[in-house]
Amino acid sequence: MKANTIFTYEVVHTADERFYMYHLVNQSVILRYQLTQTETDGHIQRTTWVEKTKSWSTLVSIPRDRCDDYALCGNYSTCDSTNFPVCQCLKKFKPKSPMDWSATDWKQGCERETPLNCTDGDGFIKYTGVKLPETTGSWFNMSMNLKECKEKCLKNCLCMAYANTDIRGDGSGCIMWSTDLTDIRQLNNAGQDLYIRMAASELGSQANSKMKKRVIIIVVFALVAGMIVLGLGIWYLWKMRNLKHYRLEKEDLELPLFDLVTLTNATNKFSEEDKLGEGGFGPVYKGKLEGGQEIAVKRLSKDSIQGVDEFKNEVQLISKLQHRNLVRLLGCCIQGKEKMLVYEYMQNKCLHSFMFDETRSKLLDWQNRLDIILGIARGLLYLHHDSRLKIIHRDLKASNILLDGEMVPKISDFGMARIFGGDQLEASTKRIVGTYGYMSPEYMADGHFSVKSDVFSYGVLVLEIISGKKNKGFYHPDHDHNLLGHAWKLWNGDKCMELVDDSIGNSASAQDIRRCIQVGLLCVQKNSEQRPTMSSVLLMLSSEAVVLPNPQVPGFYIERGPINDNSSYSEKQLCLSDDATITTLLEGR
């Protein structure tokens, strides 16, 4: 773990109080704490002043998730934001109000299945990796060890639990609780041990339970080992016979299978004349089935390791999705070493081929552009909220927006997409995948992604559609800003109409365009929490009665160096021009 170059901290214990203290390492740094409190909740932010941007940058924002809410789960329960539901009673405890608990109202907490009667047989159940309970009603002694702490707790009938006060090394100090335990949180790869008092009868059943678990583990291990040996034997036989066909798992087969001969004939043996383009996944071909239906065939490259993962992900995701503004997957082909996805063919190829082509961009009047902006928003809202899965696309860009014959936009390429659980708000990764110019600051810098990451990419698209210019490689003789910075500069100078593509002409009112620019800037704000959700975006775009907030500073609005953007565009490149998806591994922090 890297040393904190901004501040250090320490926990101070005295006879009267315990508190947390910070010391600035660099006295030139301006650090600020903001506490917002209402009758029902509170919010704290630690921010630092950034002289270069003349703004406050957020270092820490609490609460980060639901488990940061005080006593969310009540007494004798744990909160785990990675589980659903997040609240669980401790072992040998039950909900005080089962009806309220099943309705996700956990405030009454849990109670013991067997009450304590302070007998000689009382003992403790050990919980690992937890945040200790609220310390009101606790007692501590910094000189005692854990064994002495246990003995003292057993002698006191009011003692409900004990733990070390200092977990460094082998642990030291003693803290005991004499009131109900509340605000316990389960942590992953963190936390400490907590010992909770239990009745003698509960400890006996726990010992039997542990023995049963050991037996189950042994049996399961033996079965798994046997299955592995059997699986290796089956795999060996399959390999020796050189099987030419294999199947996806049953749950993945929610779409038709095409055979290799059909697709070979449809694409004229995958000829170069029918090749539409090529990306990290592999080449894409135009084809025509025997019935006359035009298709696009995405063929997995045999050299693409990343492509295999993308293939599986795309089949599993898009086969379960249906929406007017999502590209339709007609089927797939899995035969021998060949893996292909078959899509409906898009006559107008992709948004990239229209917007950034000097000739074709003139065909996009304001109504076309507004319909595309709204269509993409509806598709994203479906992915984030309305489908049976909550999906983060992670690679939304102009070349992944396809246009059918009526210029209806279709979001495509779900190889990088991720599914979120019902209550999940954010996830992290060390493997950054996406496209420069479209990735949000929190994702590109720290690997954090959420629905707000897609909102940032959408905001970039909105400003590109209005201006007809790319964010990546944007050039202006008067400043070094990219397209986001240029739009921000014009907005602050009340000159936002200078952003509009000349080909739009007088086909729209200044008020409509200004509203779209404002929505685009709201979506690309640096702070993800300030960005609107896609439901809010659609409401702001569709209703003039909605009052829009003023946008704050965008993320990544200054280019960090010259970008070579001289690559030419041709029909053969289709939508796979110079905005290729990249993969980056973050170093450990």
- What residues are labeled active site? 395
Burial annotation 204-225 (CB, 10 A radius, 16+ → b, else e):
eeeeeeeeeeeeeeeeeeeeee
- Asked whether 200 and 155 are in contact (CB, 8 A), the reply is no
Q: Are 557 and 485 in contact (CB under 8 A)?
A: yes
Give the strand pairing for 431-434 and 409-411: unpaired
265 Cβ partners below 8 Å, 6+ apart? Answer: 290
Token representation of residue 261: 């001969």
In angstroms, rounded to a whole number, what is the distance separating the alpha carbons of residues 300 and 282?
5
Question: Across the chain, which distance is largest between two alpha carbons, in Å?
Answer: 89
DSSP reduced 3-state for 334: strand
Between CA 428 and CA 418 the distance in angstroms is: 11
Contacts of 483 (CB under 8 A, 6+ apart): 460, 463, 464, 467, 469, 470, 471, 474
* Burial (0-12, 13-18, 19+ Cβ within 10 Å), 51: exposed
Distance (Å, whole) CA 222 – CA 228: 10
The CA distance from 52 to 49, in Å, is 9
Q: How many helices (H) and strands (E) does the chain have?
A: 12, 28
Token pair recorded at residue 272: 């170069």
Structure tokens at 388: 């049976």
Using CB atoms within 10 A of its CB, is residue 515 exposed (0-12), middle (13-18) or buried (19+)? middle
Give me 464's structure tokens: 């590109």
* Per-residue DSSP letter, 84: S
What does each C-alpha distance from 528 to 58, 133, 499, 518 come to in angstroms? 11, 31, 24, 16
Would you give the DSSP letter of residue 384? I
HSE value, Cβ hemisphere, 13 Å, CA-based, for 237: 5
Count of alpha carbons within 13 angstroms of residue 77, beta-carbon side: 25
Q: In the beta sheet, which residues pair with residue 174?
A: 141
Query: Do 168 and 177 form a contact (C-beta atoms < 8 A)?
Result: no
Is the backbone peptide bond immediately before 85 cis, with ω within 30 degrees of 0? yes
Written as one letter, the residue type at 340 is M
What separation in angstroms does the CA of 511 have from each of 193, 508, 523? Answer: 60, 8, 19
Closest listed residue to residue 210, CA positions, set 91, 80, 87: 91
